[in-house]
Structure 1
Amino acid sequence: MQGQLFSTDFLLRGITETEPWRALTETALDAFIAQLQTLYAVYHVDSALNESQTEDELIEPVLAQLGWSDSWLSQVNLSQTGREDVPDFLLFADPATKTRALAEKDDRRALHGIALLEAKRWMRLLDRSEGKVGSNRKSRDFGAPSSQMLRYLSRADVMSDRAIKWGILTNGALWRLYWQDARSRAEDFFEVNVAAALGVTGIPQELDGPQNRHALKLFFLFFHRAAFLSQSWDTQRRSFHAIAQAQARWYEEKVSQNLGQRVFDEVFPALANALIASDVEAVKDPKGRYNREYLEELREAALVLLYRLLFVFYAEDRRLLPVTDSRYASYSLSELRDKAAQALDSGKALSGTAATYWSVLDDLFLIISQGDDQVGMPAYNGGLFERTRAPILARVRVPDVRMARVIDALSRRIEDSTKPRINYRDLSVAHLGSIYERLLEYTLVQETTEEGKTTLLARPASFARKVSGSYYTH
């Protein structure tokens, strides 16, 4: 399951509360999966199917299983002149609408459509060009298939008078859904690896994806003809896609708000207290460690550390860092967050002296800053990971008992009884930026507890934001 059109939280949990999910019976889903298994059973990763064979043997039969029988036309030209914009299929709401479209001239048939489908040969890469046009390729089949789909959608938006907003791109194994009005059309698609979910020989399973049955249920719900139509059970008569988008945005906002509040109330002050407790310079001068100058230095160090963590969470979940490379995996924050969760859930004793979590983080930040070809990591050019950025971070070693809790608080939705993992892929840069911007307005204040111990709390301050904090946008 790839792409960012719908949030992971919604696809794994929120969708189970929707009417179409509940209405699809286990018997009906079993029958659908059985039909797909029959269609895909004879293929493996290296099966030699050209585009035409893939369409005939796989894509058209799958479309029929998805409710599109007799509701498509092939090779409809979206251009008034030439044949540069000719998607493989124009999809209609029903056979009657298709009949009306057939009465129109070719360049007006799009007015009756609800979606496009572009088919590629079996297992063709969808985000990479295959070079120059040759004798084995259609002259219009240029560039990466994903770019071609975006071009077709833009053209269809015009030719259909904005009726067509959705496009399906498939190589038989991967099925992608694109939306014309997405914030970032190149990234905001929804992809299901149908072949992997069916266990096609030679195609690896998605290790961090949903269970196969769940993935195939998502495939049915999002690619079925009914998903493109207005829903009778919805008071606003929206399509299932529109409902899913609204629900996904709600989940995204909920996760962002809860994470932000946790950062302000718990994580930021916990980091500050952990750093001051581990700082040898502060220990040397216990009376002076709470002066304004030192607290400002401590605040800056806590901000830098916090945003390093948020940056890596985001970059790993969005595959901007090489988390799928086994050489990098053992150094990753992804592996460390799993370790922290397991330790805390099992009640494992965590050292108040040893700093194994801190050591992994310190090494990881160094790898990101300098790059490391041995683990597949290019150097990051921003200033966030420079070791001179915050001197306190270079001289402390935060013990496991503190660091594991900080990592876990940023890793899971601990307000939920099931503590689901936060997938930072679902959070935009703007969401993370807003958290950081608000933190710049907080200062550290000293408070004495009922037990007579001194602790640090984060409180909003009246001072202006520092320009030095703007590196989150780099």
Structure 2
Amino acid sequence: MNYYQELKKYLNNNLFTSYSLEIDFPKIYNFNANQKAFRDILTKITKIYDKNKFIKQNEHQFEDEFISKVLEILGWCFVRQDEKIIQGKLEKPDFLLFSNDKLKSKYENLDKETKKSSNDFTIILESKAYNIEIDNKKVKDNPHFQILRYLGNLKKNYGFLTNGRFWRFYDNSILNSNKVFYEINLEKIIEDQNIEAFAYFYSVFSAFNFTEKEDHLEITLQNNKLSKIKIEDDLKSIIYGTNGNESLFEFIGSRIYNKTKADLKLIYENSLYFIFRLLFIAYFEDKFEIILEKHKYFKSKISLRTLLENLQEDENSSGGFGELENIFNIYNKGKGNFDMPVFNGGLFDESKTALLSTPKIFNDKDLKFILNQLL
């Protein structure tokens, strides 16, 4: 069973790689063996889910009626609205989570002043009312930045943010200029009763994931880092021809030379632009895969993966490269009829790759080989 395929329509993620989600998660969290447990836990959460009631509740009522109960089902112990004072600044997270009773008792036995500056808890969770968006795209008064502020001030790596519908996991141990998180639509999983997708929710948000004995989270995050390194290394070996791989860069350059007999400097520049264009589009399609699946025209008209699926190993046809030129042009100039904006920052500027305009420069067989290496 491919759990990852079931997850995609519920997921908004740029924290974990596709490899980690598809390969590592089912192994580390033993998805197949835990099917019944996942089903039982989803059933418990479903029983307390009442959308019509939640819509009318304020944040505190919603926390009482749903969030706190879900946390208990997920195995968490917690303290609510505990004041923290760090460097004179008052912080009041909605929930401090503990992976077991022992940790909670130890924390609660601290004297009042020590407790104010203690971070001897497992996770910070910030919750919002059902109707409040967890990321309103603003800089001020945005729950996304609120949870990051808590994590920074309280020196904790991991945090949860939720409005009951969407649940986000943050790893703040690595600084990043982008918004990085793992978000799952629990509401839709409940509506669909999708056990396979729920496995990905439970695996990340349950207390079991944060126990010192099992240490599943650390294993998952370490594997995620390793998979990123492996992807980078594999890409380098494909492009530059290391580790026994044929150099894709040389392959592309030789095809351009055979058709143009141009100066080697120009061939180098055109080859470089060509590879970077393909890498940019491949990254874009992978990063926004979930969103793009909902786009009316992308898969059928603009996707590199669709182009690859339709290509034949035909040395006498160059129709595939003609389609690729259209895709490059859409990224360069946009396409209002396909609801595609302009992406160009110069990468897709046709004037920089005059050699690529040479008729029949790549036949379908060559193009299929190139795309197979990169996608």
Do the two structures share a fold, i.e. TM-score over 0.5?
Answer: yes
SS at match of 2:51: coil
Contact 1:123/1:173 (CA < 8 Å) preserved in 2?
A: no
**1:312 and 1:44, CA in 2 relative to 1: closer, same or farther beyond 3 A?**
farther
C-alpha distance in 2, partners of 1:52/1:82? 26
The alignment-based identity, stated in percent, is: 24
Deviation per residue, 1:145-180 (Å, 9 max, x gap): 1111101111211xxxxxx32111011111111122
Contact 1:178/1:190 (CA < 8 Å) preserved in 2?
A: yes
Q: 1:15-26 residue pairs with structure 2 within 5 A?
A: 15-18=25-28, 20-21=29-30, 25-26=34-35
RMSD: 3.1
Partner of residue 325 from structure 1, selected from 295, 306, 312? 295
Contact 1:79/1:107 (CA < 8 Å) preserved in 2?
A: no
Which residue in the other structure is 1:261 paired with? 237
Which residue in the other structure is 2:368 paired with? 404
**1:33 and 1:93, CA in 2 relative to 1: closer, same or farther beyond 3 A?**
closer
C-alpha distance in 2, partners of 1:175/1:107? 31
**1:248 and 1:43, CA in 2 relative to 1: closer, same or farther beyond 3 A?**
same
1:405: Cα distance to partner? 2.5
More deviation, 86-95/398-407: 398-407
Larger Rg, first or second structure (1 or 2): 1
**1:4 and 1:64, CA in 2 relative to 1: closer, same or farther beyond 3 A?**
same
1:257: Cα distance to partner? 1.7
Contact 2:249/2:271 (CA < 8 Å) preserved in 1?
A: yes
Contact 2:93/2:124 (CA < 8 Å) preserved in 1?
A: yes
1:62: Cα distance to partner? 1.2
Contact 1:340/1:405 (CA < 8 Å) preserved in 2?
A: no
C-alpha distance in 2, partners of 1:298/1:165? 47
Q: 1:68-83 residue pairs with structure 2 within 5 A?
A: 68=76, 71-79=77-85
Partner of residue 91 from structure 1, selected from 94, 97, 103? 97
Which residue in the other structure is 1:415 paired with? none
Which residue in the other structure is 2:269 paired with? 300
C-alpha distance in 1, partners of 2:159/2:268? 48
Deviation per residue, 1:300-347 (Å, 9 max, x gap): 2122111110011112322399734324443323xx314424x57xxx
Q: For residue 199 of structure 1, what is the amino acid of its counterpart? A: E
Unaligned runs of 5+ in 2: 1-10, 241-245
More deviation, 265-274/3-12: 265-274
C-alpha distance in 2, partners of 1:321/1:194? 16
Which residue in the other structure is 1:7 paired with? 17
Which residue in the other structure is 1:150 paired with? 148
Which residue in the other structure is 1:426 paired with? none
Contact 1:44/1:200 (CA < 8 Å) preserved in 2?
A: no
Which residue in the other structure is 2:318 paired with? 355
**1:339 and 1:369, CA in 2 relative to 1: closer, same or farther beyond 3 A?**
closer
Q: 1:10-89 residue pairs with structure 2 within 5 A?
A: 10-18=20-28, 20-21=29-30, 25-40=34-49, 42-43=50-51, 47-68=55-76, 71-79=77-85, 85-89=91-95
C-alpha distance in 1, partners of 2:135/2:343? 24
Deviation per residue, 1:101-144 (Å, 9 max, x gap): 3343277254321111001122532221689xxxxxxxxxx611
C-alpha distance in 2, partners of 1:11/1:214? 12
Q: For residue 206 of structure 2, what is the amino acid of its counterpart? A: H
Contact 2:39/2:195 (CA < 8 Å) preserved in 1?
A: no
Q: For residue 105 of structure 1, what is the amino acid of its counterpart? A: K
Which residue in the other structure is 2:345 paired with? 382
C-alpha distance in 1, partners of 2:343/2:21? 32
Which residue in the other structure is 2:243 paired with? none
Runs of 4+ more than 4 Å apart: 44-49, 80-84
1:46: Cα distance to partner? 9.6
C-alpha distance in 2, partners of 1:404/1:49? 55
Which residue in the other structure is 1:418 paired with? none
Which residue in the other structure is 1:245 paired with? 221
Deviation per residue, 1:226-261 (Å, 9 max, x gap): 2222135xxxxxx32211111111222222222221
Contact 1:173/1:193 (CA < 8 Å) preserved in 2?
A: yes
1:390: Cα distance to partner? 1.7
Q: 1:205-216 residue pairs with structure 2 within 5 A?
A: 212-216=194-198
C-alpha distance in 2, partners of 1:266/1:37? 53
Which residue in the other structure is 1:337 paired with? 305
State the number of aligned residues: 356
Unaligned runs of 5+ in 1: 132-141, 158-163, 202-211, 233-238, 283-288, 412-474
Which residue in the other structure is 2:209 paired with? 227
Contact 1:166/1:180 (CA < 8 Å) preserved in 2?
A: yes
**1:24 and 1:174, CA in 2 relative to 1: closer, same or farther beyond 3 A?**
farther
Contact 2:75/2:99 (CA < 8 Å) preserved in 1?
A: no
Structure 2-normalised TM-score?
A: 0.83
Contact 2:80/2:94 (CA < 8 Å) preserved in 1?
A: yes
Which residue in the other structure is 1:366 paired with? 329
SS at match of 1:188: coil
C-alpha distance in 1, partners of 2:320/2:307? 9
